[in-house]
Structure 1
Amino acid sequence: MGSPRVVIIGAGIVGANLADELAARGWHNVTVLDQGPLPLTGGSTSHAPGLVFQTNSSKTMTALASYTVEKFLSLESDGQWCFNQVGGLEVATTEQRLADLYRKQGWATSWGVDAAVIDAQECAKLHPLLDRDRILGGLYVPSDGLAKAPRVVTELIRRTEAVGIEFRGSTKVIGIEHSGGRVTGVATDNGVVPADIVVSCGGFWGPALGELVGMRVPLLPLAHQYAKTDQIPELVGRNTEVAEAGLPILRHQDQDLYYREHVDRLGIGSYAHRPMPAALDELPDGEITADAMPSMLAFTDEDFAPAWEQAKLLLPCLQTAKVESGFNGIFSFTPDGGPLIGESPDIAGFWIAEAVWVTHSAGVARAVAQLLIDGRSEVALQGCDVHRFEEVQLDPDYVSETSQQNFVEVYDILHPLQPKESPRNLRVSPFHRRQTELGAVFLETAGWERPHWFEANACLLDELPPEWQPPARDEWSAMFHSPIAAAEAWRTRTAVAMYDMTPLKRLEISGPGALDLLERTTTGKMDKSVGSVTYTLALDNAGGVRSDITVARLSEDTFQVGANGNIDLDYFRRLAPADGTVAVRDITGGTCCIGLWGPRARDVVSALSRDDFSNDAFKYFRAKQVRIGGVPVTAMRLSYVGELGWELYTTAENGLRLWDALWAEGQRYGVIAAGRAAFNSLRLEKGYRSWGTDMTTEHNPFEAGLGFAVRAQKDGYIGHDALAGVSDDTVTRRLVCLAVDDKTSTVLGSEPVYLDGSPAGYVTSAAFGHTVGAPIAYAWLPASAAPGTGVEIEYFGRRIPATVVAEPLVDPEMSKIRA
């Protein structure tokens, strides 16, 4: 059988790469459409400055960029380069930025990119135009460089056309045809192109293309300034017209600027201006040339003036130069800065690959080709999946505000816990009023306000036993943290605490086909008695962990699923049969949840209920419909902090009443409200994984320490065949627990881990373990790193000794949780 008919909308750097990646895998029945002329179509690709800096806090984004470098290096067009590997240099003019460059060097090392922090003298040797006295040091990545995007596209068009792929320029898409919920073709101003699969690679036109099938694409086109100087005497004779550049590409992030050579001139890109949203219906129309295209708006000198003054300070050669030309080029921004990859939830076969810059273009194209042909990408894509956004985050005003803020912060030093300043209070649990009264310090995730600690518990610090007193933290790890978390962890372990678990995604999967759907998509036994709760995994077809979920069977054909986010909702809806025998509903907003955990938890609920909460009547990993304080509650005996207790679910209108009843009765037992900082510490002490952070589709269950969730007697589920022959004994890498030897140095995640002096893995989650009195971290390391193995974690350029330890660190016998 031949390959399906694929139509790619957009012949820029992403669309051309996608056509090439499909062709390389034997799919040649591909048509690429673009409204502009070929090869210079007038989109962002046509004017992209082409700077490829690979290092990113995201492992995925770094992998996508590194593949782009690898691929573009292998290309040439008519004997001319497509990638000029001049290296990348980021300079620091403040102590804060210099420290951040050490953090970024750690990311690069974690993700396998060679990088070094160098002193000011070395920076000036690499880039002699710099004022050495103005900088403190820099981050140098030898493999970074310049991509010649139009040249890449030209070459990819040539080689894909040679195998039968068709490119049609000056062809405007006016509609997407579909029947029975599947795409059938693309309507253009030159007729209909039949299609089985359509991929929108339209860049900042993506939202308009998505509208053709009713798909909301959370992307904002924003203009970004790029200027070119007149001739710089210091550059005369350094570069040939062919090479264009020989100095490293340069970033001056303290002033939101970047630089590259254009033979004997300098190009300067600036984010140091107000956000300038671009309305698609107001873009210039007319003949597209190298100097005039819809994505190039008029240069606004007044916006560039402050940046020009800063550029002259960093590069003194500009003191006698002037800006010869410039434009405000349109690029795509999203609420979280990530690309948008995925299939329409309503029209099968309609895919998007949008908000992708040149840096990640080939990597994204390969990932999408793998999704289409193999059903999975070898690179984990949860941070790129368009379905990662919650409904409230798809609102146009939300997309506009957060994308503009993302533009403003694009070069800022951002802490991993740093919340948005605005918009806030979009989603609050029914307990929010009480939490505010208790002095909750809220951070934000997916629009939810989530307490991280409570100022009301500050008084407990005076009661903390000496062994629970937390050490002082360094300035970075102390940000968005409070020692109050230690008191909250202590009270959870010794008395009882209430945790707001409302923001965790809850799905209801029901109907006569619900059991079959869950059996087909999970690794565990689902056909258990009503009231059973099962921790299980959803795998992809290569055995990678696409999610870990908790499934409670509430009736014969009703299951409540504790999921990891909107991606899971999309997944189960997509796999649900079309015959209506399964309903998949997001019930998060209409419900709420309190995690009541600690050795006195049973005392609290027993006093408020006529139901039997004894161990014999209500065992671990069981669910019951009960009443607590007169409130109907679905109680599940689960605990992600490793203590006796329950997750107590009720409807939103009953939530405050439930909270107040538990709070009032709990006073007899020392109850407190506790936040996510304590929760994260306690869950790591118990060895509980967090999907998307500790494991992804890049890891199989046995590597991740989750082999226990794979039922050996079960087959027929997605990913089963890929696990044949895989076991704890066969894996070559593992997620392991590390204890920091000095018992004080706290790391935060993504740091490289050294084994025998060489980089061997990276930290996923980390926290101070308040119960064990030491910082702990989970990290991916070779399977040979058994308990007792000494390693080093690199933190801001400093090596911190740590030891691989057996897990879990707290209550390995499970006696507390099963009490």
Structure 2
Amino acid sequence: MSSTPALRPRVVVIGAGIVGCSLADELTARGWTDVTVLEQGPLPAPGGSTSHAPGLVFQTSPSRTLAAFARYTVEKFSSLQVDGVSCFDRVGGLELATTPERLAELHRRAGYATAWGIRGEIVGADRCTELWPLIDRSVVLGGFHTPDDGLARAVLAARAQLDRATGRGARFLDRHTVTGIEQAEGRVTGVVTDRGTFPADHVVSAAGFWGPVIGRMAGVDVPLQPLAHQYARTRPLPDLAGAEAEASMPILRFQDRDLYFREHHDRIGIGSYAHRPLPVDPFTVLPYDAARARGMEMPSSYPFTEEDWAPSWEDCRRLLPALRATEIEEGFNGVFSFTPDGMPVLGESRQLRGFWLAEAVWVTHSAGVAKAVAEWMVDGRASVDLHECDLTRFEDAQRSPAYVRERGSQQFVEVYDVLHPLQPMEHPRPLRVSPFHARQERLGAYFLEGGGWERPHWYEANAPLVDSLGPLPERDAWSARHWSPVVAAEARATRERVALYDMTPLRRLEVTGAGALSFLQRMTSNNLRKKPGAVTYTLLLDEAGGVRSDLTVARLAPERFQVGANSPADLDRFLRYAPRDVHIRDITSGTCCIGVWGPLARDLVQPLTRDDFSHEGFGYFRAKETYIGHVPVTAMRLSYVGELGWELYTTADLGLRLWDTLWEAGRAHGVIAAGRSAFNSLRLEKGYRSWGTDMTDEHDPYEAGLGFAVRMDKDGFVGRDALRGPAARTPARRLTALLLDDPAAVVLGKEPVHVDGTPAGHVTSAAYGYTLGRCVAYAWLPALPAGTGVHVDYFGEKIPATVCDEPLFDPEMNRIRR
């Protein structure tokens, strides 16, 4: 969020590609008309990624945010023309399956499309060849047809928006190379070029693969890796002779071979991700004139590497036999941007206020990104959730040049891969480990990765416990990935005995100082004005009442608080607004945490401490600084799994001693180590939300079922005014608990939910509830009474489910408060 330094702020946008032009259009449409767009190359085709982009726009994505960006891009570009030529050809899209695995994946993608409101259908091989007659039908099993996808004329769309923005007062200056970013007192003040300096209240880097170069000038890290990508055009094809339209068949994806195709009148354009990654150092990319002097068409167009192309050309000819009668007429390796997680990098830098990033954005998402960033700049928030794109989302350990290069290159490799939602990255691992890692390995931990942390999902040492469970429902091949029946045994052991959970990756902030209480009271929704020793669940809201995060705040001393947060964005927000008498420190890496949960948790812990851990002596949502054996700990009586227990925090150097102390004492009580999969199952049975998955800033607390964490009688907290009125307390949509009717059925998240046969919402979190004997799913749906029947679409199968009151397990909270 940015403060506006002037009524009509001066904005300088660096880069006049599709993103810069789109942003200038969106800003000027909102009344910010003092906009200057600087471009080092010539307009209208300055030589960046936009100038060579093939223009394919497929809207469907696992990310709801990216899908929203793409939908807006299609809508906007379809309305734009230049000299009577449309900026978008709605020829449709067709994704092919040549293997059963890919066909199943297309059913999953069709589910995404339904969930996000995109038209699409699974079609058979015959329909595929009707849509694309050049396809060899014998190699195709089916396809996914999206009639509203198509081809963006990127350079033309940039020009159309340039013209509109210019008409509102913006100016576009080409042949201006940025050489520096001016700043004073932590705020941007101008942009220096080889042709003069431009004062600015806001500067937006929309420089594409030059983003890291601009970022370095500003002292702002831009975690972006440019890579070269092969694109080629064939000679004229007899089958397309006489074609008047630039394209009439759908844009085509052959993802089983990492290929895509589009028409260029009587030629076929082909793009390939099948080759080795070809990373490009953004600091060595030539300026436009220097590139032209070396015989390059543009700075972003590198020489075609024939040796990388040969295998793909054979795959092309197998799919499209007509290509056997032609050759490649021209090709190039075009440079564009990847990030470690494949998402854009958007937002305002805290280190340099007024300096914004709109980087790693493809043509597909360009107008949608520009709209969101313009809303963010002008209104203080976007109308779509941006947490997946926020520039603050990466941990420090994920920002090294080596990490960005390695992960960016892997994102290129995986563009068309069938990726499971739990799919872990392979390299670089392990990166971050808790102090208990060696013990976890000894217990046979199955690790997945998140935020750079190695996170045990179950332990093979618990496999013998599976025999006592009885038969479990068989899982389909997809839901059985990164899962084990051991998960059920760990969940049961937590409900019946006691288990240790590694909670170290949860973010911990220390907030201290004379103004700490007042600051936290203003920033969060619940009342924190309690005596030391109190722990409070509260929400971090934005000014519109949207849920930016959920927090647990422990008041350990009058001026010292420990905050359990979610992401680096929470730290960033606190640091942006903290007054001088408040000090905020991220203590995550120097500390660790073990969750001790289960009906025997007190039997395990009490003998290890002199403090009273009885219910009367240590109530629920209370904290104590004490000792467990030789280890000083901060103990908090919290439970995210719905059982008696504590979160025990200590410094990283003592973490292993804490684990061993609890493990030895727990052996008499049948203690086990349990993983994140059991944890997720247990928390869904209790209805505990996961921020970023179940709710975001698109949702208010009442919709999300978190109204209990809002104290409207508390003055002056962020978001309070937006939550006034009865409408906030009677939401039209709700985060809704569902139980699948079939005990053997499982869904995983992001599936569409149908009410009365019509798509009405989507699943957020889902996991099998081993205590309940049913899969639990939470979904955003219209407000529905308990008992209502719905259907969840899982790989094209409509699975019946029932709306339930929550929590599903232990609604009286007897197990926690014992």
| TM tier, smaller | over 0.9
Corresponding residue number in structure 2 for 1:708: 708
Q: Can you list the C-alpha shifts for 1:720-742, whole angstroms capped at 9, x where unaligned?
A: 11111155752110011110101
Corresponding residue number in structure 1 for 2:655: 655
Measured in 2, the distance between the counterparts of 1:528 and 1:284 equals 60
Measured in 1, the distance between the counterparts of 2:625 and 2:518 equals 24
Corresponding residue number in structure 2 for 1:620: 620
Which letter maps to 2:781? L
Q: 1:171 touches 1:190 (CA, 8 Å); kept in 2?
A: yes
Q: Can you list the C-alpha shifts for 1:53-102, whole angstroms capped at 9, x where unaligned?
A: 00000101100100010010110111111000000000000000000000
Q: 1:65 touches 1:359 (CA, 8 Å); kept in 2?
A: yes
CA displacement at 1:163 relative to structure 2: 1.3
Runs of 4 or more off by more than 4 Å in structure 1? 288-291, 726-729
Q: Give the gaps of 5 or more residues in structure 1.
A: none
CA displacement at 1:236 relative to structure 2: 1.3
Corresponding residue number in structure 2 for 1:757: 757
1:84-483 alignment to 2 at 5 Å?
84-238=89-243, 240=244, 243-285=245-287, 287=289, 292-464=297-469, 466=470, 469-483=471-485
Which letter maps to 1:758? T
Q: 1:470 touches 1:773 (CA, 8 Å); kept in 2?
A: no
Which letter maps to 1:476? W
Corresponding residue number in structure 1 for 2:523: 521
Corresponding residue number in structure 1 for 2:680: 680
**Number of residue pairs matched?**
810
CA displacement at 1:280 relative to structure 2: 2.9
Q: 2:40 touches 2:288 (CA, 8 Å); kept in 1?
A: no
Instruction: Say whether 1:637 aligns with 2:642.
Output: no
Which letter maps to 2:746? T
Measured in 1, the distance between the counterparts of 2:277 and 2:34 equals 41
Measured in 1, the distance between the counterparts of 2:205 and 2:629 equals 53
Residue 133 of structure 2: SS of its match in structure 1?
Answer: coil
Which letter maps to 1:181? G
Q: 1:595 touches 1:648 (CA, 8 Å); kept in 2?
A: yes
Measured in 2, the distance between the counterparts of 1:92 and 1:749 equals 23
CA displacement at 1:291 relative to structure 2: 7.2
Measured in 2, the distance between the counterparts of 1:573 and 1:195 equals 24
Residue 113 of structure 2: SS of its match in structure 1?
Answer: helix
Q: 1:625 touches 1:633 (CA, 8 Å); kept in 2?
A: yes
**Quick check: 716-725 or 476-485, which moved more?**
716-725
**Quick check: 354-363 or 555-564, which moved more?**
555-564
Instruction: Say whether 1:534 aligns with 2:536.
Output: yes
Q: 1:470 touches 1:770 (CA, 8 Å); kept in 2?
A: no
Corresponding residue number in structure 1 for 2:3: none
Corresponding residue number in structure 2 for 1:790: 789
CA displacement at 1:400 relative to structure 2: 0.6
Q: Give the gaps of 5 or more residues in structure 2.
A: 1-5
CA displacement at 1:237 relative to structure 2: 2.0
Measured in 2, the distance between the counterparts of 1:743 and 1:143 equals 38
Measured in 1, the distance between the counterparts of 2:468 and 2:269 equals 60
Which letter maps to 1:679? F
Which letter maps to 1:177? E
Residue 762 of structure 2: SS of its match in structure 1?
Answer: strand
1:47-66 alignment to 2 at 5 Å?
47-66=52-71
Which letter maps to 2:708? F
Which letter maps to 1:399? V
Measured in 2, the distance between the counterparts of 1:215 and 1:146 equals 34
- With over 3 angstroms needed to count, the CA separation of the structure-2 counterparts of 1:395 and 1:532, relative to structure 1, is same
Instruction: Say whether 1:741 aligns with 2:746.
Output: no
Measured in 2, the distance between the counterparts of 1:176 and 1:367 equals 24
Residue 146 of structure 1: SS of its match in structure 2?
Answer: strand
Q: Can you list the C-alpha shifts for 1:268-304, whole angstroms capped at 9, x where unaligned?
A: 0000100001123443455477971000000111111
Percent of aligned positions with the same letter in both sequences? 62
Q: Can you list the C-alpha shifts for 1:10-61, whole angstroms capped at 9, x where unaligned?
A: 0000010000000111110110001111111110001100000000001011
Measured in 2, the distance between the counterparts of 1:10 and 1:749 equals 38
Q: Can you list the C-alpha shifts for 1:744-763, whole angstroms capped at 9, x where unaligned?
A: 11100000000000100000
Measured in 2, the distance between the counterparts of 1:658 and 1:301 equals 58
Q: 2:712 touches 2:720 (CA, 8 Å); kept in 1?
A: no
Measured in 1, the distance between the counterparts of 2:524 and 2:708 equals 13
Q: Can you list the C-alpha shifts for 1:774-809, whole angstroms capped at 9, x where unaligned?
A: 1110001101x2110000000001110010111111
Which letter maps to 1:407? F
Measured in 2, the distance between the counterparts of 1:659 and 1:702 equals 39
Q: 2:632 touches 2:650 (CA, 8 Å); kept in 1?
A: yes
Residue 491 of structure 1: SS of its match in structure 2?
Answer: helix
Measured in 2, the distance between the counterparts of 1:111 and 1:726 equals 29
CA displacement at 1:345 relative to structure 2: 2.4
Q: 2:40 touches 2:287 (CA, 8 Å); kept in 1?
A: no
Corresponding residue number in structure 1 for 2:549: 547
Aligned mate of 1:69, from 70, 74, 79: 74
Instruction: Say whether 1:79 aligns with 2:84.
Output: yes
Q: Can you list the C-alpha shifts for 1:361-392, whole angstroms capped at 9, x where unaligned?
A: 00000010011011111110010011100000
Q: 2:491 touches 2:679 (CA, 8 Å); kept in 1?
A: yes
Measured in 2, the distance between the counterparts of 1:2 and 1:586 equals 36
Measured in 2, the distance between the counterparts of 1:127 and 1:258 equals 13
**Quick check: 303-312 or 726-735, which moved more?**
726-735
Q: 2:510 touches 2:560 (CA, 8 Å); kept in 1?
A: yes
Q: 1:76 touches 1:155 (CA, 8 Å); kept in 2?
A: yes
Residue 65 of structure 2: SS of its match in structure 1?
Answer: helix
Residue 23 of structure 1: SS of its match in structure 2?
Answer: helix
Q: Can you list the C-alpha shifts for 1:606-640, whole angstroms capped at 9, x where unaligned?
A: 01111100111100000000111121000000000
Corresponding residue number in structure 1 for 2:802: 803
Q: 2:10 touches 2:202 (CA, 8 Å); kept in 1?
A: yes
Q: 1:335 touches 1:403 (CA, 8 Å); kept in 2?
A: yes
Which letter maps to 2:451? A
Residue 392 of structure 2: SS of its match in structure 1?
Answer: helix
Q: 2:181 touches 2:188 (CA, 8 Å); kept in 1?
A: yes
Residue 277 of structure 1: SS of its match in structure 2?
Answer: coil
Q: 2:41 touches 2:288 (CA, 8 Å); kept in 1?
A: no
CA displacement at 1:605 relative to structure 2: 0.8
Corresponding residue number in structure 2 for 1:44: 49
Q: 1:258 touches 1:270 (CA, 8 Å); kept in 2?
A: yes
Which letter maps to 1:448? W
Q: 1:543 touches 1:720 (CA, 8 Å); kept in 2?
A: yes
Q: 1:682 touches 1:769 (CA, 8 Å); kept in 2?
A: yes
Corresponding residue number in structure 2 for 1:666: 666
- With over 3 angstroms needed to count, the CA separation of the structure-2 counterparts of 1:184 and 1:453, relative to structure 1, is same
Q: 1:707 touches 1:728 (CA, 8 Å); kept in 2?
A: no
Measured in 2, the distance between the counterparts of 1:433 and 1:357 equals 42
Measured in 1, the distance between the counterparts of 2:315 and 2:182 equals 51
